[in-house]
Amino acid sequence: MKNIIIFFCLLICFSVQGQTNKNSECTNIYLIRHAEKDRTNKNNTNPHLNSLGIKRSLKWKEFFKNIDFDIIYSTNYNRTLETIKPFSEDGTKLVIYKPSKINYNKFISKNRGKTILVVGHSNTIPTFTNNILNKNIYNNIEDNNNSNLYVVSICDGTGSQNSLYFVE
């Protein structure tokens, strides 16, 4: 079952990536929540990844190995930056963003025709996805879920989306 889900996810991602090659005006946006964080200190507002989170970050690296990101957007927290660390050190431009300060129309306009990864949090990634689609589709991610992937393709001003969930 896990292999079927992974195959389906790869098929969708390559389909979205293929659309970029056919039409340079398509923008492809992949959005993920950070990997599992260390929860041993409830007062720590900026925890690092735990061992499961480190493993997940390596899984994301493997999953995204055939996608050439133009830009990676991340919040400025240990857990988000550590999630992308295994695959962001290849020279891909990294932009630190504040979810409360994003102008989504400018984000779309500025990134037209690019392939982008956005890394955030359980309450920011669904909101980000909803705002770039200009639709209210997704709710906050469950706290114990660090494996959602949202894929949005915007071509000719029209957005289409897929929401995927990876089983452990």
R_g over Cα of the chain = 15
What token pair was written down for 146? 């660090």
**H helices of 2-137, where?**
2-22, 51-63, 78-88, 104-110, 125-133
CB 53 within 8 A of CB 146: yes
C-alpha distances out from residue 155 to 67, 147, 167, Å? 18, 26, 30
Span 105-151, pLDDT tens digits: 999 999 999 999 999 999 999 999 999 999 999 999 999 999 999 99
Query: What pLDDT does residue 55 have?
Result: 97
Query: What pLDDT does residue 42 have?
Result: 94
CATH code (residue 31): 3.40.50.1240
Task: Please state the domain count of the chain.
Answer: 1
Instruction: For residue 143, give the DSSP letter.
Output: T
From the list 132, 89, 92, 130, the residue with the least C-alpha distance to 112 is 132
Q: How far apart are CA 146 and CA 7, in angstroms?
A: 19
Count Cα atoms within 13 angstroms, Cβ side, for 136: 0
Over the chain (168 residues), what is each successive 10-residue block's mean pLDDT?
A: 44 47 75 97 97 96 94 98 92 95 96 97 97 94 94 83 61
Domain span at 125? 2-38+46-165
Tracing tokens 């098929």 back to the chain, one arrives at 11
Map residue 93 onto helix, strand or coil. Answer: strand
